[in-house]
Each structure stands twice: as C-alpha cells, then as structure tokens.
Amino acid sequence: MTVTYEDAKQQLLDAILTHVPFDGWSEESFRAAIADCDLDEGLARVICPRGAVDLALAFHARGDAEMLERLKSEDLSDLKFRDRIAAAVRFRLQAVPDREAVRRGVTLFSLPSYAADGAKAVWGTCDLIWDALGDTSDDVNWYTKRATLSGVYSSTLLFWLGDDSPDHQRTWEFLDRRIADVMQFEKLKAQVNNNPLFKPFLAVPNWLAGQIRAPVRMRADLPGLLNPRK
C-alpha cells in the first residue's frame, strides 16, 4: 500500500504530539517522531523541510478542519451573528485535544523567526470562520473583519490557556466581552461616519478605503488548480 506525503505527515504529527509536552515543537521531538513512525529521515525532511515547525502548522490546520466540520454540522441559524462568531471561536478552541501542545506552539510562534508563520495561521483561522459564516465583503471590510477577529481570537486563546474553570466557562465569558467591545466600537464608528459634522474630514480616508479590494480567490474546482487555503 502506497503512503502519500500527506498521510506520512499526519503520522508524524500524531507521533510528535506525544513528545511535544516534554520537548516542545523542537528538533528533538521531530527526530523522536521520525523514529516512532519508522520513517526514513530523508523522506521526513522532504515532507517537513522545517521539521517540527511544519508539524506545528499542520496541528493548527487540523484544528481548523475540525472547526469547519462542526460549523457545517451545527445549526446556528437561530443565533445572532455575534453569537455565531462566538460559537465558531469556541468550536475552534474545543477542537484542541491537548492544551499543552498549543501552549508550546504559542512559545514557538512568539520567536521572531516564526512570528510571521503564527500570525498567518491565526489570520487563516479567522478567514475560514468569516467564509464559513457567509461573509461576502470584497472591500476594506474584508481586511478589518479578519484583523479584528484575529485580535479577539488571539486574546481569547491566551486567556483559555490559563483558564481552569469548569468547562472553560470563564473563557467563554471573556470571549463574549471581547465581542461586545468590538460591537460597541463598530456602533461608534457608524455614528461617526453618519455624522454630517465629520463628513468633510472623512472624505479622503473613506475614498482611500473604497479603493481597497479583497484578494482575488482562485477557484478550487477548476482542473489543475489547488485550493489556496490548503
């Protein structure tokens, strides 16, 4: 039976998760995972050129996929939109099988050499959430929605890592407060934009914002094209 690169990568990910709590997302953990899988080291280096870093990103992507599956299976139609966003963030955190692996990942992606990877992973999660909830914005709002949610998600994640309350109840209360803060800001922004006294001062900024467009999406169903989010 032929094992694909992706299958081998998932095997390595499963194997490294037993070592991460002790050695982090490190070279030592990566070598141990290779040994556990009885995989040729050269092949493992081809699959994961950056070793444990690539597996840490695969771990994050696995959580994203589980979140999306739950969003598809849950009926959120009766919820307010802000509650749908809160549910999506909650589903994403609940998709994590081991908080220590996430804690070690936060440590890894706080390093300057990997900070961009961490930021990209969080942005990707928030992009998936907005798309799953039906966001159709194609202007500057496409960016502001994802940037704002990235801040909410990141702060909630850090709170969750230190939360020992039953069923993480304090985390979900914290999340609701952060979303409420965002909603208040959006309300204030709308009031400012609708105030005729401010219109002369906002003309140029609003014009500039109107020139910004969301990135062009490459269709994943066309022959020869890969899904850009995979």
Spell out the domain ranges in the chain: 1-49, 60-210
How many residues can be counted in the chain? 230
**pLDDT score recorded for residue 87:** 97
Per-residue pLDDT tens digits of the chain, which is 230 residues long? 567 889 999 999 999 999 999 999 999 999 999 999 999 999 999 999 999 999 999 999 999 999 999 999 999 999 999 999 999 999 999 999 889 999 999 999 999 999 999 999 999 999 999 999 998 888 888 888 899 999 999 999 999 999 999 999 999 999 999 999 887 745 544 544 554 543 443 344 444 445 556 676 644 444 443 444 43
What residues contact residue 16 under an 8 Å CB cut-off, 6+ apart?
25, 29, 30, 32, 33, 52, 55
**pLDDT score recorded for residue 65:** 97
**pLDDT score recorded for residue 128:** 96
Q: How far apart are CA 126 and CA 119, in angstroms?
A: 11
**pLDDT score recorded for residue 184:** 72
Query: Does residue 141 contact residue 80 with C-beta atoms inside 8 Å?
Result: no
pTM of this prediction?
A: 0.82
**pLDDT score recorded for residue 214:** 67
Q: 43: closest CA among 6, 17, 5? A: 5
**pLDDT score recorded for residue 119:** 96
**pLDDT score recorded for residue 230:** 38
Query: What's domain 60-210's architecture?
Result: Orthogonal Bundle (1.10)
Helices 199-210, 169-194: crossing angle, 10 deg rounding? 110
Q: How far apart are CA 163 and CA 96, in angstroms?
A: 14
Query: Does residue 50 contact residue 25 with C-beta atoms inside 8 Å?
Result: no
**pLDDT score recorded for residue 225:** 39
